[in-house]
Amino acid sequence: MTTRVTARIYRGTPRNLARLAHALRAGELVAVPTETVYGLAANALDAAACRRIFRAKRRPAADPLIVHIHDQRQLHELAVSNDAATKLAAAFWPGPLTIVLPKLACVPAVVSAGLPSVAVRMPSHPLFRRLLKLAGLPLAAPSANPFGYVSPTSAEHVRAGLGGRIRHILDGGSAAIGLESTIIDVRDPRRPRLLRPGAISQAQLEAVLGVRVRIGAQRNRAEPDTAQVAPGLLKRHYSPRTPAMLHDRLSLRDVAGRPGSEAWIFVARPAGKKSGNVFWLDPRGDLRGAARRLFQTLRTVDAGGFARIHLERATGEGLAVAINDRLRRAAGLG
């Protein structure tokens, strides 16, 4: 049984960062801000500490963790790198890109779901980077929320979901991107695979690598008890508790005559008379704003007591692909 605790939110002062770095070295958990979403961090080389992440989140052991580093040299201490990984790191690190490679023996099996691979990222959030450097450790950090629920993009989101299971939350403000990192598998550098779309697009990856990047994981529709090479690949994930339906396009005509107990989330603010059950991700439909507000909007609507949520797909490439991936999984469509 997980002991009931009360989480404290820390400002990013030098004293607080030193205290949290000490806690991480001692095997404790710390929720941390990143440019993507908030993560729940532990010493990635300490199997017992990483198991605490799984207990706090109630996360299945088959879902691996992403390891975060503050210096590219640390990659070679965790994984067997190659030219493809070197090119990607030079182009996109620090930033929202996770690279999957064969792991070294120092990475505990709990981190990689028992597979011989590891997912590594160098975040760009300045506060998290300072904490990583102070701790002097690679930190495993999945999203800081109960497993499968909508990802957190603020410290308050973390406290609402995990405040009774963890002690420390570092407040770094609202996440700038709002979607989890892009994940690319380059264990075979000749056949890279885009496992999870994010702010870095397939086209950007191909431009750097100079080869075609295939889409999707071989176990994209895996069940929670099937070991996966990377997180975020389950059919239902990032999901509100309220049942959700995904639509190619919505209009206020769809809302008219439907029960007020159903909520409607548009990508852009719809023209015409709005009601209390109509929401939008960005006033003008800007995809960066839509991505940044997606999880906040899902949480707001999920707490509104609605019987059903209707979601509208984004149009376009790049961030639209990542937004639609999250919307599909929120609706349980994988």
Q: What is the mean pLDDT of residues 193-197?
A: 97
For the residues 32-51, what does the mean pLDDT come to? 98
Q: Is 14 helix (H, G, I), strand (E, B) or coil?
A: helix
For the chain, give the mean pLDDT. 95
Contact 91, 208 (CB under 8 A): yes
- 95-152 pLDDT, tens per residue? 999 999 999 999 999 999 999 999 999 999 999 999 999 999 999 999 999 999 999 9
pLDDT for 25 beyond 50: yes
Q: Please give the class, per CATH, of domain 8-215.
A: alpha beta
Angle (CA) 68-69-73 rounded to 5° is 145
Q: Which residues contact 76 (CB under 8 A, 6 or more apart)?
A: none
248-269 pLDDT, tens digit each: 999 999 998 898 999 999 999 9
User: 20 — phi, psi (to 5°)?
Assistant: -70, -35
pLDDT of residue 223: 54
Q: Quick one: pLDDT band at residue 82, thresholds 50, 70, 90?
A: very high
Verdict on whether the full-model pTM lies above 0.75: yes
Residue 218's pLDDT band (cuts 50, 70, 90): low
CATH (residue range 244-330): 3.40.50
Nearest alpha-carbon partner for 231 in 330, 98, 55:
98
| Backbone angles phi and psi of 126, in degrees to 5 | -60, -35
Express as a percent the part of the chain with pLDDT over 70: 96
The domain limits of the chain are: 8-215, 244-330
